[in-house]
Structures are given as C-alpha cells and as structure tokens.
Chains A and B, each alone.
Chain A
Amino acid sequence: MTTAVDPRFHLAWFKSFTPHDWRGPWAGPEDREWMNGDSHVDFLQALERARFDFLMLEDSLMVSDTYAGTAEASLAQGGYAPKGDPALLASMLLSETTRIGVIATMSSTFVPPWLLARTSATIDHLSGGRFGWNCVTSSENRAAQNFGMDALPPHDERYERAAEYVDLVKQLWDSWEDGALVMDEETNTYVDHTKVRPIHFEGRWHRSRGPLNLMRPPQGHPVICQAGGSPAGKAFAAANADVLLALPKGLADMKRYRDDIRELAVEAGRDPDDIKVMFIVSPILADTDEEARELQALMNANAEAKIKAQMVNWSATMEIDFSRFDLDEPLPDDASTNGHQSTLSTFRKFAAGRTLREAFTAYRTESIEVVGSPATAADVLQEAMEFVGGDGFLIMGGTTNRRYVHEITDGLVPELQRRGLVRTEYAGAHLRDHLREF
C-alpha cells in the first residue's frame, strides 16, 4: 500500500510596515495616515480569509543615503523609509484576526536579547500562539550608526553572535516551565516558583541572568524565521529556523537550496520536515495569459524607473552606490558588500554576460516567474512544487494595493484550493501548527 503524499504547500506574504501602493492606477484614496494600521488590518484579514500561513513583516533601521550620496531617491521612492515598528504592528494585526500568524523582523545586532524575548513572549500570549520572529543580523552600517556604533560587525561574526543570541532568547523563554501558573487556592499559590529559574547566561557576546518575568509563550518558542542565503546564514537557519525565506533563481537552484537546507538540518540533528523553505514569487495575474503578458510588458516598458528603483533599494541593503556604475557595462568585479552577500552573489550569477541595464531590466525579486491567468499561475506553482519537493511560496507584491491582494486571495487561491494544493481551513491553533500541518 502506498500512502499518498500530501500535495499541499504553504502560502505567506512578505510586506513592510510601509505605505501600500500610493501612485499606481489602483492605489485608492490618498492615505497619509497609513501608520494607524487600518489598511494593514484589512490586508491581514484578506489573507486570513484565504487561509495563508502567515504575513511576514520585514524591517530596517535607517534612512539610506548611499545612492548618489543622498537620501533623495530613497525617500522619494518611499520603500525603505518611512517605516513603522513591525513588532507593534504585528500585535495590532493579530488582535484583529484569530488564526493567521504574523512574523515580525527584529535584529539580533541591535535589540537587547532580554527585551526581544519579552516582547515576543508577550505578543505570542496576546495572540494565542501566532507570533514569529524573523531573526536578521542587519546589513547596514547606517543602521549601526543609529545605534551608536561606527559600523556593523563583519558578516560572519554577525551570525556567530546571532547563534548565541538565539540560544539566550530560547533559554529565557524556557526559564518558565509550562504549567508554572498553577493558581492553587489551597496554598494561595499563583505561580509555582520551582518552575521558574534564573539562566545565568554568560556567552561570548551576550549575558543575562534571567529568568524572564513572564510565562512561557503558548508556542513554547515563537516561530523563528530566517532569510540568510550565505553559507553562514544557511548554517544558522538550518540549526535554528522553523521557516526560511529564500530567493534562489529557477527550479534547479530552488531544489538545490531546499535539499541543502534539509541536509544541514539533519546534520544539526533536526527533522528536516520541521523547516519550511518558502520561495519568493510576485505573480502577475489577469483574466487571460495574453493580458497578463501585456501587463508584464507594460511594467517593463518603464525600464528606467524600474532600474532606478532596484538600484536605490540595493544601494540601501548592500551599501554599494549603484549610481556610480555605467549601466552599459557589466557589474564591476570588485563590487562587494558586508550586507546582503547572498543577494549580491545571486545577482552576479544572474547578470553574468549582461550589461547592468539588461540585468536590471530582466531582474525580478522572485524565484520563478508567475505570469498568467489564475489557472496558468496555479500550473506554474504546482509544477514548481512537484519538482522542488516543497514547501511553499512567499508572495511579494511589488505594488501592494487592494486590487492586487484580492487578485491573489480571491483569484489565485481559490484556484489552488480547487486543486487541493493549499488549505481550505486551518487545522491548528498556533502558527507552528500551520507550518507543520503538511
């Protein structure tokens, strides 16, 4: 007898606590008060209706002025800043939903570990176990300078620190046993102190006596998410993460990436099924495939703007001033970064043999191209998952407006549901339950 493999995969969305689309034809009424969270609440409720696993809120901690040596382009574009604190938005969003998870980014380089452990534990309690932490090490010296340092620690050292940091944070969460809250009227005991212990953590980079001043989170450990693609980043993820966000290009690299992570997980003594690898896609949808292609062509037609937007973004995360480069030459060999190393190396590979202009025109932040009617898009996703083996997709809408969100949640998702490829109901209560459901 053969047991059928569950064909389902996971869906999540990638977003910042930044304004939604404000310029496009479907931007909706002008919203200068997006920081009150209203539009994000609507957005998350739509994703919950479509039974997404989670929304992931990225973060950064600076206003970039790398591109052409000024913040002009970056602020005019409005992608990096203004940006609100994602952990606080997560708390609000979770209070307006009941099943979907929210993952917020917090930097192991800048947030004191005790504070992070407590804030995450609090939000996990408030949401009944639906919170996750995207552990990043940060990539920008500009951010370090906001926190009183001159520069970031070197790339690989950041991951060494992060490994110790995660260890400490987990110990703080574990410093209260499950069931410490006893509420025993007979002995007048609210918390059993024998189940709460100091941790006396003395690491190379971090120290904390503990215990935390709060009960163990409902999930035990809130979900840990990670997105590092460098060797150091991957090793860290394999040892610590429940979910991985990844951007390898094309099916072969996707498969290699996932197999790699699963192997590293086994080496780290973990069940590889406990780590889900989510690949970034930015579907372009329309009534027909032909219309979708036209839409894509329209997007690429404004190549100058597209190239500039990409260069401004990468100037921020890589702290390389892309405005210095000749667009009609290839990427210079000596361009290097202490920031997103894996992104740069993926791009270098992608751009081989092309001028920068060609490379940027063709480049999209996605693992595979998904363009077409909902049925065609579903075919592409289905085939990709069959080839790669899992585990799902992270949607990154270049311009997030209500129309685009509903194209995904009310067009693509029902098509995937009809094929039995994504869930139609939540089974578990916690975010980790969703991730481990299949």
Chain B
Amino acid sequence: MVFTGTETLFFLLGIITTLFILGLIKYNKQLKFNALSWALLGTGSFLCIFCIAWSVSAVLEGVPRAASMGMVVFGIPSLLMLLLGRRFAIKKSK
C-alpha cells in the first residue's frame, strides 16, 4: 500500500470538509441563515466530520466498540444539530 489507513482517512476528510463548506455556502445563499442556524449547522458539520474521523480511526486501531460509541456520542448529536439547523433555516426563509 502506498498510503496508510490514517493518511487515506485524512485525505478523505479534507474532501468531506470541503463539501460541507460548499454545502453551507450554497444553502446560505438560498436560505440566508441566521445566527442560530449558523451555530447549529456549523457545530453539527464539525461534529459529523469528527464522528467520521473518530469512528474510522477506532476501526483502524481495532477497537470497534470505540467506533460505535463514537457514532452514538458524536454522530447522533451532529445529526440532531444538522436537522434542527436546517429546520430553523427553512422556517425563517418562509
């Protein structure tokens, strides 16, 4: 293998981060986020990326329980924040 598991992970995280940022910029143009939506969507995006990083790393190091716990502890709050942020943004734009 040319790249290690971690290197591949961080390369993909770079792409995912870029997609998240582009997504936020695009939807902000459409929906004009207020401060609350920004806070929820920003934190949710960060937590979601962190959840992917944590869980994949835990699988790579051979501790699957840490991966599932990572999904519960970081993944669920991130989804809730993203959903709530989206909801506030849509509500406000109506």
Q: Tell me whether A and B are bound partners.
A: no
Residues of B near any A CB (own CB < 8 A) = none
Residues of A near any B CB (own CB < 8 A) = none
